[in-house]
Structure 1
Amino acid sequence: MESAGFHYKLDIPAERPDCAVVLLHGSGRKEDDLISFGRAVFPKGALYAPRGAVPWENGFAFFRRKPDRQLDIDDLKHQAARLCRFITMVFQQTGQRPFLVGYSNGAIVAAETICQDRHLSKGAILLRPLSPRKDQSLPNLAGYPALLLAGADDERRHPSDAPHLAEQLRSAGADTVLETINTGHGWAEDAADEQLSRQWLARWSIA
C-alpha cells in the first residue's frame, strides 16, 4: 500500500480496532519488522507500518547517517516532516491520533516528529532511542506520554543517550518513563520490551 509518499503495511485485528499505531522500524530493516511487537502490545490496534524512504544496507531507514555515523540532521528533519504527513493520513483514516512505536532509527525519527508536532500522536514507545536534538531544548511537550526502553548492554548507544533524551523530554513537560533492560541493542530474550510496554499502557490508562 502507498500513501503520503510511503509504502506501508496495514495489519487490522479481527475485532473492531480500539486504537491506531504507527510502527517505525530500525535501519536496514523493512516495514513488517515490528508487526509482531505491535500486535503483542496493542492486541486490538490498527497497525500501520511504513517503510523508511532511505535505502540502507539490506533494507531501509527513515533518515541518513553521515559516514562517521553521526545523524544527518538536515535529512532527519526533512524525513520527519514527510512522516508527519503519513501520521496525519492515519488520523484521517481512523479518526484517532495514533501511538508511535519506534525502534533505533525509527525511535529517533519518531522523537523528531513529536518535536515538530506533538499533537499528531497520542503517545510514544521509543526502543533504544537517541535524541534527535542532542544540544537543543525541546519544544513544549506538556503532558505528552513517552516510554523509553534502553538496553543496559547496547553496543550502539552510549549509556547516557537514553537518560539524556528522557531528561530533555521531562524538561519539555512530557510525561516520561525510562526503563533499562538487561539486553543489547536488539530485543530482550524474555520479552521485557513487550511486558514493560503493556504495563506502561495499563498504568497510565493511555490506550
Structure 2
Amino acid sequence: MRHERFQAGAADQPTLLLLHGTGGTEDDLMPIGHFLAPRANLLSLRGQVTTQGRTQFFASSADAAAIETQVSWLAETVQARCGQYQLNPQMVIPVGYSNGADFALAALGVASPFPAAVLLHPTTPLPLKLQLAGKALWASHGTHDDKVSAGNFADLTQQIRASGGQLTVFQHDQRHNLNITELRQAKAWLTHFMEVTQ
C-alpha cells in the first residue's frame, strides 16, 4: 500500500515534495504546501522508518549508509511519480519539517536534481558529505526551541554553507512549532525563487 498523496497543480508550476516530522503522515504538510505555493503540484510521502512506534524518514541514530539508503528510496519514488504524473524532475522542491527537514537536506545534498529546499526546523548536522553547490535553501529556527539548540542549528547552517549551499535563515522567538510568521517568510522566499528560476 502506498502511503503518499498527490495533488495536481498548474502545468507550468514546480512540485513541492512534502516530508513530515517524526510521528507524522503524508497528510500533515498538504495544507502547508498549498499555503506556500497554491498553484504548485504537491507530492507528500510517508517515511519508511519506525522508531518507538513513530514514523520517520531516518532515526536520529542513523549513520550515513542508513540515510543514503532512504535517500535512494526517495529518489526512485520521486522519479517514478514524475513519470506517472508528467512532472519535471528538475523542478521538485523538498519542503520538510523537523526530521523531514533533515531528510530534505540529505536528499538535496546527495546527488539529486532538486534545485532548492525549504527546511522548517531542521534539527542537526548530518553524518554525510553534502554537495550543495548551486542549491538554494531556506531554514527556520525558534530561539526557544526545546528540541534544537542554538548550537546545533549553528552547526547545521555551517555544514550547509561549507557544502556550497546558498542559505537563507529565518529565526523567530517560538519553539519547535510551526507558526504563521515563518510560513509567510518561507512563502515569500519560495515565491521569489520560483519567479527567478522560471
- Whether TM exceeds 0.5 here: the answer is yes
Aligned counterpart for 2:186 among listed residues 191, 197, 206: 197
Runs ≥4 residues deviating over 6 A: none
> What letter is aligned with 2:76?
R
In structure 2, C-alpha distance between the alignment counterparts of 1:89 and 1:178, rounded to whole Å: 32
Counterpart residue number, 1:76: 67
The structural deviation recorded for 1:99 is: 0.4
Counterpart residue number, 1:54: 49
Q: 1:106 to 1:33 in 2, by over 3 A?
A: same
CA contact under 8 A between 1:22 and 1:47: conserved in structure 2?
yes
* Structure number with higher helix proportion: 2
Question: 1:179 is paired with a residue of what secondary structure?
Answer: strand
Q: Does 1:21 align with 2:11?
A: no
Normalization by structure 1: what TM-score?
A: 0.83
Counterpart residue number, 1:151: 142
Which range is displaced more, 32-41 or 157-166? 157-166
Counterpart residue number, 2:95: 101
CA contact under 8 A between 2:110 and 2:130: conserved in structure 1?
no
CA contact under 8 A between 2:97 and 2:121: conserved in structure 1?
yes
Counterpart residue number, 1:126: 119
- Mark the runs of 5 or more structure 1 residues left unpaired by the alignment: 66-70
Q: Does 1:38 align with 2:38?
A: no
In structure 2, C-alpha distance between the alignment counterparts of 1:185 and 1:162, rounded to whole Å: 12
Query: In the comparison of the two structures, how many residue pairs are matched?
Result: 191
Aligned counterpart for 2:104 among listed residues 107, 110, 120: 110
CA contact under 8 A between 1:111 and 1:131: conserved in structure 2?
no
CA contact under 8 A between 1:151 and 1:181: conserved in structure 2?
yes
Counterpart residue number, 2:5: 9
> What letter is aligned with 1:124?
A
In structure 2, C-alpha distance between the alignment counterparts of 1:83 and 1:137, rounded to whole Å: 18
- Mark the runs of 5 or more structure 2 residues left unpaired by the alignment: none
Q: Percent identity at matched positions? A: 25
Normalization by structure 2: what TM-score?
A: 0.86
Q: In angstroms, what is the RMSD of aligned CA positions?
A: 2.1
